[in-house]
Homo-oligomer: A and B are copies of this chain.
Amino acid sequence: MERDEKRVSHHFPESAYSFLVSRFLADQLVRYPYPMNHTLTELTERLAVISDLHEAASLLSWDQHTYMPPGATAARGQQLATLSKLSHQLFTDAEIGKLLTVLESAPLASDSDEAALVKVTRRLYDRASKLPADFVEEFAKLRTQAQQRWAEARRGKDFSQFAPLLQEIVAMTRREADYLGYLDHPYDALLDGYEPGMRTAEVKRVFAELKGPIVALVQAIKAQGRLSDAPLRQPFDEAKQEAFALEMAQAFGYDLSRGRLDRTVHPFAQSISKYDVRITTRYNPEYLVPALFGTLHETGHALYEQGVADEYYRSPLGSVQSLGLHESQSRLWENLVGRSRGFWQYAYPKLRAYFPGLNGVPLEEFYAAINRVEPSFIRVEADEVTYNLHIMLRFELELALLEGTLAVSDIPAAWNAKVEEYLGITPPDDALGCLQDIHWSMGGIGYFPTYTLGNVMSVQLFEAAKRAHPEIDLDITEGRFATLLAWLRDNVHRHGAKYQADELLQRATGSRLDPGPYIGYLTSKYRTLYRLA
């Protein structure tokens, strides 16, 4: 499934730096519930205007991927560039720096929203201000060029076409890291843009813990034999696929009065504001998986955005900064709920009502089919287990590129060697290998790790929810999701960007980032499914 790709474009519309900012305390629509001093009011009003511009850009982006006629492409680029430039100008205005400095010496309660606002805004302000305008513009142009070249190279299955531009991207990315500054590793500066506070060393630690058990699990599964996904590959009427997916999304708690589901080539979730969070999907009339699990995945993202506190509307606090936490929510609903045995106890009779062709397929067979593990070339189509290996190899290559120990021209060979080592298969060409993802062409080095971090966090959070409410497992088998959602709302969603991932995990689960529960979950689930010793 390519459904992840548009999460990327959501975060890179024009300049990742200006678009990772958002929203504050509305002046007209939402009144802050206590008196504010003038400085805070001034700051929040400026940020609110910037938030409105981001919301407008967000709708333009949604439209670009759904209903925009093709002739409008260049004009849409221009509109987005102007909105991005204006909001960047407004945000990096020296006055905002001054207001932050004043507020940083004000006596704000340490866990207060005001203190969080100052801290979160400062981080974004510094990141945005450290990059010279010329550099931002030059990099934006390079990315536009690189995306086009990447698409051509992928069509032609020829990495060498893309290599010169990727070389420039890597060089610009190193400069970017230097501008942003870092303590230990230039990769830290990049990672921080997608996962605030996260360090390269921490990612290495987590991935090192994951790698052995996952590689071993994949090998054991491979030795054991295959499960069939034949039941998922038969004619499925598209309108019925849509109706069922939407029924499940609503059962989870997706509020259609503040959302909608449309069709696109590459599924995505787009938050215009918390009052307007849209998802898209695509339908394969001969294969149930893309629309069904794609919708559950995007629903997870959407539930997060719809659940942010009303007080954070038009504030940077309303805009989730941790892509790992964001992915934890999509994976939780897609995989931990949506691919669980318990969920299908509830949902399978409903699915069969839509598709009587499944009446001859026992629940166990269906459950095995949706959880089939099979090493494959394309990350976005990978199963729950092998997916993480795709991420690890990208992370390792990105580090080597930044450290200068891997030349861009050597990427295809290095890529294929790692795919062989981790998955036991060999990409037949670059389109199925190192050219498959759009991320690098968009300057997105540092982004990939958040996918696996999201998987790790998803199990920590799910287990904490079940510790607090042991009835959740039973609830799910009976189609009740309200307790789970309420726990996630209270412990994750409503906080928006207030806490970085590490702090939020500590508060919500009592632990820091820990791959243990995720390894336990995967091992236990797939040992049972594949009847491994």
With beta carbons under 8 angstroms apart, the residue of B56, B70, B77, B260 that contacts A56 is B56
> Please, how many angstroms separate the alpha-carbon atoms of A451 and B63 in the complex?
32
Q: Is B29 in contact with A69, judged by CB distance below 8 angstroms?
A: no
Is A366 part of the contact surface with B, judged by Cβ < 8 Å?
no
Contact B86 A276 (CB under 8 A): no
Q: Which of B70, B78, B259 meets A26, CB within 8 Å?
A: B78
Which of A49, A86, A276, A313 counts the most B-chain CB atoms under 10 A from its CB?
Answer: A276
Q: Does A257 contact B (CB under 8 A)?
A: yes
Q: Which of B29, B57, B82 is in CB contact (< 8 Å) with A75?
A: B29
Report which of B69, B75, B78, B257 forms a contact with A69, defined as CB distance below 8 A.
B257
Instruction: Return the contact of A53 from the options B55, B69, B82, B257 (Cβ within 8 A).
Output: B82
The residue in chain B whose Cβ has the minimal distance to the Cβ of A62 is B63
- Residue A74 lies at the interface, judged by CB distance under 8 Å to chain B: yes
Give how many copies assemble into the complex: 2
Give the distance in Å from the alpha carbon of A256 to the alpha carbon of B72 in the complex: 11
Shortest beta-carbon distance from A305 to chain B in Å: 12
**A67 contacts the other chain (CB 8 A):** yes
- Closest residue of chain B to A262 (Cβ to Cβ) is B67
- A78 touches which of B29, B67, B70, B83 (Cβ 8 Å): B29
Contacts of A257 in B (CB 8 A): 69-71
Q: Which of A60, A63, A82, A256 is most buried by chain B, counting CB atoms within 10 A of its CB?
A: A82
Which residues of the partner chain B approach A273 to less than 8 Å between Cβ atoms?
A: 72, 75
Complex CA–CA separation, A308 to B313 (angstroms): 39
Within the complex, which residue of B52, B77, B262, B276 is in contact with A82, where a contact is CB–CB below 8 Å? B52
Partner of A275, one of B60, B63, B75, B256: B75
- In angstroms, Cα B68 to Cα A28, docked, is 21
A314 within 8 A of B: yes
For A467, the chain B residues whose CB sits under 8 A away are none
In the assembled complex, the Cα of A82 lies from the Cα of B86 at a distance in Å of 12
Contact pattern, A 240-259, Cβ under 8 Å of B = 1, otherwise 0: 00000000000000011111
Q: Which of A46-98 contact B (CB under 8 A)?
A: 49, 52-53, 55-57, 59-60, 63, 67-72, 74-79, 81-83, 86
With A29-B78, A78-B314 known to touch, is A276 a contact of B52 (CB < 8 Å)?
Answer: no
Closest to A273 in B: B75
User: Least Cβ distance of A256 to chain B in Å?
Assistant: 7
A343 CB, min distance to chain B CBs, angstroms: 26
The yes or no answer to A272 lying at the interface (CB within 8 A) is: yes
Q: Could you tell me the distance in whole angstroms from the C-beta of A242 to the nearest C-beta in chain B? A: 16
* Residue pair B259, A69 in contact (C-beta under 8 Å): yes
CB-CB < 8 A to A258: which residues of B?
69, 71-72
The size class of the interface chain A forms with chain B is: 35 or more
Q: B56–A60 contact, CB under 8 A? A: yes
Cβ of A75 and Cβ of B313 under 8 Å apart? yes
Q: Does the CB pair B255–A86 fall under 8 Å?
A: no
B276 & A69 in contact (Cβ 8 Å cutoff): yes
A137 to chain B, nearest CB (A): 11
Q: Is the CB of B49 within 8 A of A86?
A: yes
Q: Mark A497-520, 1 if CB is under 8 A from B, else 0.
A: 000000000000000000000000
Complex Cα spacing A57 to B55, Å: 11
Query: From residue 259 to 281 of chain A, which have CB atoms closer than 8 A to chain B?
Result: 259-260, 262, 272-273, 275-276, 278
Closest Cβ–Cβ distance, residue A318 to chain B (whole Å): 11
A18-34: CB near B (< 8 Å → 1, else 0) gives 00000000101100000
- Cα distance, A59 to B69, chains bound together (Å): 12
Q: Name the CB-closest residue of B to A58.
A: B79
Partner of A79, one of B56, B69, B75, B77: B56
Rounded to whole angstroms, the CA-CA distance of A75 and B58 in the bound complex is 13
Query: How many Å from the CB of A10 to the closest CB on chain B?
Result: 17
**What residues make up the interface of A, taking CB atoms closer than 8 Å to B?**
26, 28-29, 49, 52-53, 55-57, 59-60, 63, 67-72, 74-79, 81-83, 86, 255-260, 262, 272-273, 275-276, 278, 313-314
Closest 4 CB pairs of A and B: A72-B276, A52-B82, A71-B258, A75-B273
Offer 30 A-B interface pairs, CB within 8 angstroms, sorted by A. Answer: A28-B81, A29-B74, A29-B75, A29-B77, A49-B82, A49-B86, A52-B78, A52-B81, A52-B82, A55-B79, A56-B56, A56-B60, A59-B59, A59-B60, A59-B79, A67-B67, A67-B262, A69-B258, A69-B259, A69-B275, A69-B276, A69-B278, A70-B257, A71-B255, A71-B257, A72-B272, A72-B276, A75-B313, A76-B276, A86-B86
